[in-house]
Structure 1
Amino acid sequence: MSLYKFAKTAVSAIVYPLYRIRVIGKNNIPENGPVIICSNHISNLDPPVVGITSPRDIYFMAKGELFEKPFLGKLLSGIQAFPVKRGMGDRNALRKGLKILENGNTLGLFPEGSRSKAGQLGKPLAGAGFFALRSNAVIVPCAIIGPYKVGGKLTVIYGEPMNMETYRQNKTSAKEAADAIMTEIRNLMENYNSQHSSLDN
């Protein structure tokens, strides 16, 4: 068993019951071909939660400082994370991400770039739009609806895939593409909240 599979099994056994995770729309993730899963970001636990709820193995970016620690760096590499220098255009990370997609794999991104501790959506960086426009990947929006509370309920929603071909043909900017992805994530959150607020009334 690979380190990734082992970690996914171990983390699932702990995190699923701890936060009573409910997954919606898992079948919206294509079984084959390049995919970018784009999620909101409310906790440091978001990457493992997306990782264990997705049926596909995911490659995540992680801040480069973490890879400077020998043990942690090897561990992160073993679970398919790769380093990115935050706050600057890291060409190596961009090339690595594109290569992952060229090989038909799944890339996990958090368009906001950093956590929103209040749980509100922030403005997206252009990175998600860059990967969406420069690859042939399908975009799957994802909404994590918390909070992370032991014994509470955490919901992970995977929306319908976005076909970015029109954006590519129209030479849409990376920022505009990122905004469109963020709109889909917002819609997932709002639709879920409106449905559950109506049930509560």
Structure 2
Amino acid sequence: MALFFYSRKTVANFALILNLNQPKILASNHPNSFFDAIVIAVHYPKPIYFLARGDAFNKPLIKKFLNALHLIPIYRLSEGKENLSKNDSTFERCLKLLKSNEHILIFPEGVCVNEWNLRSLKKGTARLAFMALHQKINNLIVQPINLNYSSFYKVPKEIIINFNEPITVSNLSNHAENVFYRIFNQELKEGITRKMLIKSDLQYFDLFPKKENYLRKILLFIPAILGFISQYWIYFFLKKWVIKKTKNSVFYDSVLFGLLMFSYPVIIIVMATFVGIFFNFKLGLSMLILLPFTAWCCKEIK
């Protein structure tokens, strides 16, 4: 529901049947922080597990919460050389999940950058695939994915997700480890970049050229104005706060989306309750529908 309000249009393209009953590694580009994982998870027809940066798991309570969301820590050299040994238990857990025909999402670039490009791939995904073959998980499939955003800053935005043709890694089982890594990463790079929209500048990317529908705009105009007057302040203040807190980082879009997703329903309920108690109960009740509707109209006009 939050994505429905946050994006103008989202399209997921599936190249082939998804082989949902086989172990699978989902491998995607990583341009937009944890918003990438949210978008993929929402549009994928099976619950998935995620490899996430290990420093997010430092506090016990947060670790429990993240584990409940199917997140698994993976540690990079930048998070401390002493933590790299913890990756052994991470790979062991991933192998157990693959043996149970689960699906695991990995971002092979190992780093997130707001750009329409694919960075060089690390060895982590190849290592997991290599270990899986040696654990006799011979039916393992690797699904290359690419995410394409119209913007990393504007709202509403447009999104295209391409679930490209899968890679069958059993064909590479006879190669030595270093050769396996090189061939695997080359095939994975080709798979991820297939139908991926690439360009060097960070100006707005028009994914879906719009045909102006003036009648629709006329019909939505008045409720859109009401939505703007009654609720734009929510977006305005949250956006200002997020800009300040995420300056010089890649987290702007993800944090803004998360804050809106959790705070907007609460704010709408508080507003409706206030009106219901102090003015008119029926009006307060109707605001639970009218406020989100007018906000949607405002998004559509924008």
* TM-score class, shorter: 0.7 to 0.9
Deviation at 1:112, TM superposition (A): 0.2
Matched, 1:98 2:95: yes
Which has the larger share of helix? 2
User: 1:36 is matched with which residue?
Assistant: 25
TM-score (norm 2): 0.56
Q: What's the RMSD between the two structures over aligned residues?
A: 2.4
Structure whose CA Rg is larger: 2
Give every structure 1 segment of 4 or more consecutive aligned residues whose post-TM-superposition deviation is greater than 6 Å: none
Native 8 Å contact 1:127 1:178 kept in 2: no
Change (3 A) 1:16 1:169: farther
Native 8 Å contact 2:13 2:162 kept in 1: yes
* Partner SS for 1:188: coil
Aligned residue identity for 1:94: F
Unaligned runs of 5+ in 1: 1-12
Change (3 A) 1:28 1:113: farther
Unaligned runs of 5+ in 2: 78-83, 133-137, 199-205, 211-302
* Partner SS for 1:153: strand
Native 8 Å contact 2:148 2:197 kept in 1: no
Deviation at 1:106, TM superposition (A): 0.3
Aligned residue identity for 2:73: P
In structure 1, how many angstroms separate the alpha carbons of the residues matched to 2:5 and 2:142? 29
Native 8 Å contact 1:130 1:174 kept in 2: yes
* Partner SS for 1:51: helix
* Partner SS for 1:23: strand
- Select which of 109, 112, 134 maps to 1:112: 109
Native 8 Å contact 2:15 2:165 kept in 1: no
In structure 1, how many angstroms separate the alpha carbons of the residues matched to 2:58 and 2:195? 37
User: 1:85 is matched with which residue?
Assistant: 75
- Select which of 122, 125, 130 maps to 1:128: 125
Native 8 Å contact 1:125 1:175 kept in 2: no
Aligned sequence identity (%): 21
Aligned residue identity for 2:30: H
In structure 1, how many angstroms separate the alpha carbons of the residues matched to 2:97 and 2:69? 14
